[in-house]
Chains A and B, each alone.
Chain A
């Protein structure tokens, strides 16, 4: 009898193979987080003994944790997959960053716009993403194969019916599909699977002594010298870990001593706030994610 993890695994693998067979130019968006780690692991299984027949792409805002970048480069090499890294050159030219421009502008230019640029540049027709339906209310309604117009917009009122495991991958020129193989996984499923399969994740998920400051209500790790000096001066060493990974100035640390997978899962299960709370972009209002997605945010 297959367990729920077996079934989720089989479904994700089926989805990936369907894309590999039908897409002309697919790519896997790799964000280096734990969900991406699971997605990459599943890709390895789906195509073994072949190497997954698509490249990985990372949208680098230049503000990711240094450990993430090192982990990313090593993983791509271990998998034998091509790694494409895209950074919005306009944003770099204008010196956009969270400390100077705020989280909203930074996220829009270095993440949302950068992703659209990268997809247009390489003319990818299908892009895998690691989003899950349990993360947020509007995602609960998104199809596994989710269509984007040539302008990368999602139209929630006009989604294609999705029957059984039969996916319609046909699109018009210029349109694209975002495919979410982890749609039906929950956060707990992800952690259980990481444990069962012994999947390596970025060490930032585990508690360790790290220098942190308090900025805009969150505990931020001082990851490099770009933290404004007056803030950096206030840094203190604390045992912290991260529940999600993104741009270090926008990723709140939680105080923790959980330094094993079991301890992390225990903490996650006992905690009283949901995963996304650490992310600054979602706080404004309930519909914020839906709006962002209609505009092309992954």
Chain B
């Protein structure tokens, strides 16, 4: 399927030759709900003769049945794909469209306008090089226009068409066009000076300035939309940047061949080039560029290739092969911008999977510095990020990774965040720069190490982590257990939720974000105590599985014992030792676990204690017996 050309009928070979070597432009269309995006794309497909007769028949039929244009063809029906969308007349997801002209093939990401679909828009923008921002000439620049422009810019699009549409409805008045263009240029200056803008007056419905210059806008001398799309440079500068290739797959068909497969993210590579693999930092030389149809002398950004080295340098999936003289940076602490894409808010301190290129690591937002109001572009204080919110934050990873700033290279600077339980993609992030802090603070190696400290106390360190509802009996049991351990000459310490909140954590409240931070700090303190050789009893509600798992992962193998004080809510509430449930029920306490804040019960705790049938003394004995069986009380 393509536009019609006489060559097809007269000389198909010549036609195919000329069309084999077209360039490819990916662009995104965005705008408000009724700005006419779908109509514009339908028009581009129609005018470039991309619609077959059977589709046209169906379109005419649908236009009469559901269309909004009377007897005329409703082009929007051609592109609004999902049944739900056609019924509601809105576009809820990115749709990809394809058309080609003599000069180029185009991939269009048609993206939804509503604010609640910002994440879908970002999906479309992430692979686009040009954005068409549709504006209804009657309404001018709207909040949505600014938001879309901001997201496109943030995701790296530096060329935008300001498609001032529905000029037919303002009588093709040049002053309307100029006014809107001026408003947008003022706004664009705030985004960044490197943005190129082309404003075009048009009517998608009437076909003005889409493929043919319109007689109704004699005052306009710029390109038509199609002229622009056919001539805008598609080179994004990556070809001339330093060489980068994330290793996707180690190609090892037999013992004699070891190749590294990946798609080149930037630059060029030739056999004999010196390269450095990161994060290890080892240098080597490119041996061959292997493809099925023979070795290449050179490969460039965008190509998927397999490279070999002249010597054995250990390299695996997720490493980045870089030009040795201009390698990427390596860091584990960053400043980054994050767009949150999940219903559940982002919580600083919670650990997420981070995937950048072919590397997946665990990381956390250690500090959310501020949010960005994408409607006004102003900073605003923020403790969490909700769906479609953007924030600037500090990011900490479990291990160092190779990267470039996102604005230099999308493929080595852009990452996604994945929830570790639901596996959903919950955020997208753009790395801005590495924070030197972690690089400058080295771990101080000490001569008296944790094993020595524990030996001195004749015990094995452990973290006994009590979790359960308020009033479940955690502190009572911990108290009884500590007394018994003391009697056995064990060195112990109890970290109690209420007590710690009087000191170390006095700045924290009870929102989800604060609860996560509360546990992060306590987990770190208990880690220090176990390093000191102590048996630490942690008595915190700690309602979220994710944070309990974080605490578990911090401790040495076998040192973390999760003790679930399993008291049903009605029993804990009936006891109500501190009178808290009564106050929470009366609305005096907000975010109370079990009532209006969730408690995620452990799925496989080491020890489960049923306090309905046993006393605190019995529970303490049960824990001691469990530890004894596993040799944890030997010294």
Say whether A and B bind each other.
yes
Seen from chain A, the residues whose Cβ lies within 8 Å of a Cβ on chain B are: 1-11, 13-14, 17-18, 20-21, 44-51, 133-134, 137-141, 156-157, 159-166, 168, 170-172, 183-184, 186-189, 192, 195-196, 262-263, 265-266, 268-275, 277, 286-287, 290-291
Would A170 and B248 be within 8 Å (CB), given that A48-B290, A50-B253, A165-B263 are in contact?
no
The reply to whether A17 and B100 form a contact with Cβ atoms under 8 Å apart is no
Cα–Cα distance between A106 and B443 once the two chains are bound (Å): 67
> Which of B54, B86, B98, B423 is the one whose CB lies under 8 Å from A186?
B98
Would A274 and B52 be within 8 Å (CB), given that A17-B248, A48-B306, A161-B122 are in contact?
yes
The reply to whether A269 and B98 form a contact with Cβ atoms under 8 Å apart is no
The reply to whether A14 and B96 form a contact with Cβ atoms under 8 Å apart is no
B45-95 at interface with A (beta carbon < 8 Å): 52-55, 58, 62, 79-84, 86, 92-95
The reply to whether A141 and B93 form a contact with Cβ atoms under 8 Å apart is yes
B303-327 at interface with A (beta carbon < 8 Å): 303-304, 306, 317
> Which of A139, A196, A290 is the one whose CB lies under 8 Å from B20?
A196
Within 8 Å CB of A263, what residues of B? 12
The number of chain B residues with a CB under 8 A from chain A is 81
Seen from chain B, the residues whose Cβ lies within 8 Å of a Cβ on chain A are: 1-2, 4, 8-9, 12-13, 15-16, 19-24, 52-55, 58, 62, 79-84, 86, 92-98, 100, 104-105, 107, 119-120, 122-123, 126-127, 235, 248-249, 251-253, 257, 259, 261-263, 290-292, 300, 302-304, 306, 317, 341, 353, 355-358, 410-411, 414-416, 418, 423-425, 428
Within 8 Å CB of A184, what residues of B? 96, 98, 107
Within 8 Å CB of B9, what residues of A? 266, 270
Cα–Cα distance between A144 and B358 once the two chains are bound (Å): 17
Give the secondary structure class of B's interface: mixed
The reply to whether A168 and B355 form a contact with Cβ atoms under 8 Å apart is yes
Closest Cβ–Cβ distance, residue A21 to chain B (whole Å): 5
The reply to whether A161 and B414 form a contact with Cβ atoms under 8 Å apart is no
The reply to whether A286 and B62 form a contact with Cβ atoms under 8 Å apart is yes
Q: List 20 A-B contacts (CB under 8 A).
A: A1-B23, A4-B22, A4-B105, A13-B263, A13-B304, A14-B262, A14-B263, A21-B248, A134-B1, A140-B97, A141-B93, A164-B410, A170-B353, A171-B423, A186-B98, A188-B19, A262-B16, A272-B54, A273-B54, A277-B54
The reply to whether A141 and B81 form a contact with Cβ atoms under 8 Å apart is yes
Cα–Cα distance between A241 and B425 once the two chains are bound (Å): 45
Within 8 Å CB of B105, what residues of A? 4, 186, 189
Q: In the complex, what residue of chain B is closest to A140 when comparing beta carbons? A: B95
The reply to whether B317 and A157 form a contact with Cβ atoms under 8 Å apart is no
Q: In the complex, what residue of chain A is closest to B234 when comparing beta carbons? A: A1
The reply to whether A50 and B81 form a contact with Cβ atoms under 8 Å apart is no
> Which of A17, A48, A133, A266 is the one whose CB lies under 8 Å from B96?
A133
Would A138 and B82 be within 8 Å (CB), given that A50-B251, A163-B126, A172-B423 are in contact?
yes
The reply to whether B53 and A21 form a contact with Cβ atoms under 8 Å apart is no
Between A159, A164, A170, A271, the greatest number of chain B beta carbons within 10 A of the residue's beta carbon is seen for A164
> Which of B1, B20, B94, B253 is the one whose CB lies under 8 Å from A141?
B94
> Which of A1, A4, A160, A290 is the one whose CB lies under 8 Å from B82?
A290
Q: In the complex, what residue of chain A is closest to B239 when comparing beta carbons? A: A1
Cα–Cα distance between A139 and B82 once the two chains are bound (Å): 9
Closest Cβ–Cβ distance, residue B538 to chain A (whole Å): 30
Within 8 Å CB of A159, what residues of B? 93
Cα–Cα distance between A162 and B341 once the two chains are bound (Å): 11
Closest Cβ–Cβ distance, residue A155 to chain B (whole Å): 11
Cα–Cα distance between A141 and B117 once the two chains are bound (Å): 14
The 8 closest A-B pairs by CB, nearest first: A137-B81, A170-B423, A13-B304, A4-B24, A48-B292, A272-B53, A287-B83, A50-B253
> Which of A2, A11, A161, A187 is the one whose CB lies under 8 Å from B428?
A161
